[in-house]
Amino acid sequence: MRYILLLIVGISAATFLAGCKAGGDNPGKEYAPNMYHSVAYEPLSQITDKDAGTWVNALDNGRGEYYNSNEYNPFKINLRLPASNTVRRNAHGWLPYRGTNDTTGLRLASKIVSPLEATPALLAQGKSLFEINCKHCHGAKGAGDGKVADKYPGVANLTGDAIKGVTEGHIFHVITYGKGLMGAHGSQVSEEERWKIARYVKELQK
């Protein structure tokens, strides 16, 4: 009798341990599935089936683990537009740049003063951003001799007499909207980063 009991215990233990083995598409036995399959609200996707993922839901909430619709929004959508007449500000509290992409906008931008104080740390950050975003065209020293300039002649020499007199606001505007051969970089480089690059360009012009 004793041996039969040990045999049963041994088989049960082996079965239990075998269920813990994971590999390939088999995740093994999951102690707390809701911890492994955390479902956050996805703004660009919406699962409306409340039974989706019921088999992995360890919570007694009457719905599937993968259901991710927001009950408190219209149509249970996850993505919502901001309230009307609201304006997004960045971490510094700045309003979005409203300059227009035309000659008037460029003229007005030339009068804008940089909101950032010139410090060694800011110049170092501006140099790093310049090397990432500008060096391939304008060259390491801004002389318009980057690798891209060999293929597309006419890249601006930022240290030349024609550009030395422009302001940081002018440079900021051109980075935002582009000018001539240069494309717009407003969607790739944040406003704060554009001001840092503009400050560094003025440093190169000295």
CATH number of 103-204: 3.90.230.10, 1.10.760.10, 3.20.20.140, 1.20.120.1150? Answer: 1.10.760.10
Q: In the prediction, which pLDDT does 176 show?
A: 96
pTM for this predicted structure: 0.63
pLDDT at 82 over 90: no
Our separate counts of H helices and E strands in the chain read 8, 0
Q: Using the structure block, give the residue that is written with the tokens 């030395």.
A: 164
pLDDT at 27 over 60: yes
How far, in Å, CA of 28 to CA of 62, rounded?
24
Phi, psi of 18 (to 5 degrees): -65, -35
User: Residues 142, 145, 149, 154: what is their CA dihedral angle, to the nearest 10 degrees?
Assistant: 70
Q: In the prediction, which pLDDT does 177 show?
A: 96
What residue spans define the domains of the chain? 30-83, 103-204
Whether 175 and 158 have beta carbons less than 8 Å apart is answered as no
Query: Per residue in 172-200, pLDDT tens?
Result: 999 999 998 899 999 999 999 999 999 99
pLDDT band at 36 (very low <50, low <70, confident <90, very high): low
Whether 137 and 149 have beta carbons less than 8 Å apart is answered as yes
Look up residue 179 and give its amino acid.
Answer: K
Q: In the prediction, which pLDDT does 59 show?
A: 73
Q: In the prediction, which pLDDT does 128 show?
A: 96
